[in-house]
Amino acid sequence: MSINATLIGQMIWFALFIWITMKYVWPPLQKAMADRQQLIADGLAAGERGKHDLELASKRSADTIREAKEKAAGIFAEAEKRGAQMVEEAKDTARAEAQKVYDAKLAELEQDTERARSALRDRVAELAVAGAEKILRREVNAAAHADMLSGLKQEL
Amino acid sequence: MASGETLNITQYIVHHLTNLKVGSGFWTWHLDTLIVSGALGLLVFGSMAVLASRATSGVPRGWQNFFEMVLSFVNQQVKDTYHGNHPLIAPLAITIFVWVFVMNAMDLIPVDFLPETAKAVAVNTVGADPHHVFLKVVATTDPNLTFAMSITVFLITIYMNFAVKGVGGFMHEIFTVPFGAKLAPVNLLFRVVEEVARPISLSLRLFGNMYAGEMVFILIALLGIWQLPLALPWALFHILIITLQAFVFMMLTIVYMSMASESH
């Protein structure tokens, strides 16, 4: 073992390799590692935020669903009430209509009855006159007894 | 021990522990140390640089995952120990850990594999003398390398002292800690001993561990058929030493940097 000029050569090699590491190896790798660390930290933070957002959103959606349900129930009750009301109205209308038809028919019937009755009365008067003619077997002056006959007709 | 018929045991061991040299005196260059450490460094740091340029902050895959794991581990050690924010410290620790680890890991390649391959190539291509083709593949068993690293760390420590505390603050600390201004020479002496002991212990620790580990591999390789049941357990145990030594060198460097950047 002897110390000689190799020492100088080795110092140059050593210095060269330190320089390479300092300039071309360590800074880029360190930067890559630091960037990755940042990336991972950001990703984790984003994940946490996403989870939080999801929680909020699910809470909001539950609220919305409950509100919608309430609203739907309200609408349903309203519709039911409205339906019942409409049925009731229809019933009333139908009843009124029926009453109207019934009244009209009744009036017509009464009119018919009246007409028949008056016709009948005429016939009875004629029959009575004819009967009286037959009973009396004599000419009765129709014109002279018209007043009496119409008064009779009124009494029938 | 492929060339056992031409080398005796001592020659075999010495051959394995000799560097491939050019030059003479101080200006001797250990070509194997320089080439192996440089090639490994260029390979790992080059691929890390390529990978880092394509690094994505999305889902990491394959090698990016692996390097991110290693770098975060080192960076965590830096953060736990060093409380300044000098941009040099983390890259320095990463460089030390990764580079020392891959150089140590060359120990796990069977001891004769690369030297014998190099010998065969050298003899067959340039007709070299097989006894003079040396290759020490574990660069951290060369004290030149470990001292080069620890001295560089030492110089950076001095720089950090000046950069963080300023000239006045650093001088004040050297002359007054730990005994106060009245014993300034003693303080200076303590400080010098402390500062000099650090790079020496740092480099000799790594060198000694790896040298001893390599030595055991060589001795196991001498056992003929008995190396088969022994090499594997030692290699498995050595994985621990390889990692631990890389970690210790990195950790102590961080501690020194931390001490240099904090006032007493």
pLDDT tens-digit map of A81-104: 999 999 999 999 999 999 999 999
Residue A80 confidence (pLDDT): 95
| Interface mutation vs chain A, best among B85, B94, B204, most A CBs within 10 Å | B94
Q: Nearest Cα to B256, choosing from B134, B59, B93, B29?
A: B93
Q: Is B205 a catalytic residue?
A: yes
Residue A135 confidence (pLDDT): 80
pLDDT tens-digit map of A32-60: 999 999 999 999 999 999 999 999 999 99
Q: Nearest Cα to B219, choosing from B16, B24, B71, B20?
A: B16
Instruction: Tell me if B95 and A14 make a contact (CB, 8 A cut-off).
Output: yes
d(CA A89, CA B195): 114
Q: What is the mean pLDDT of residues A122-151?
A: 78
Which two structure tokens, joined as six digits, stand for B236?
């498995």
Chain B residues in contact with A20 by the CB 8 A cut-off are: 45-46, 49
Q: Nearest Cα to B213, choosing from B189, B195, B234?
A: B234
Residue B250 confidence (pLDDT): 96
Residue A140 confidence (pLDDT): 59
Instruction: Tell me if B33 and A10 make a contact (CB, 8 A cut-off).
Output: yes
Can you say how many angstroms the Cα of residue B208 is from the centroid of all Cα atoms in its chain? 11
Residue B188's Cβ-count burial label (10 Å; 0-12, 13-18, 19+) is middle
Helix H or strand E segment including B21: strand B21-22
Residue B3 confidence (pLDDT): 46
Q: Looking at B203, B209, B258, B263, which residue is catalytic? A: B209
* B109-139 exposure pattern, b = at least 16 Cβ within 10 A, e = fewer: eebbebbbebbeebeeeeeeeeeebbbbbbb
Name the residue ranges covered by the structural domains of chain A. Answer: 27-155
pLDDT tens-digit map of B93-110: 999 999 999 999 999 998
pLDDT tens-digit map of B180-229: 888 889 999 999 999 999 999 999 999 999 999 999 999 998 888 888 88
Residue A1 confidence (pLDDT): 55
Residue A139 confidence (pLDDT): 60
Which residues in chain B come in under a pLDDT of 70? 1-6, 263-264
pLDDT at A142 over 80: no
d(CA A99, CA A95): 6
In this complex, which of B41, B52, B57 lies closest to A24 when CB atoms are compared?
B52
Q: Is B57 a catalytic residue?
A: no
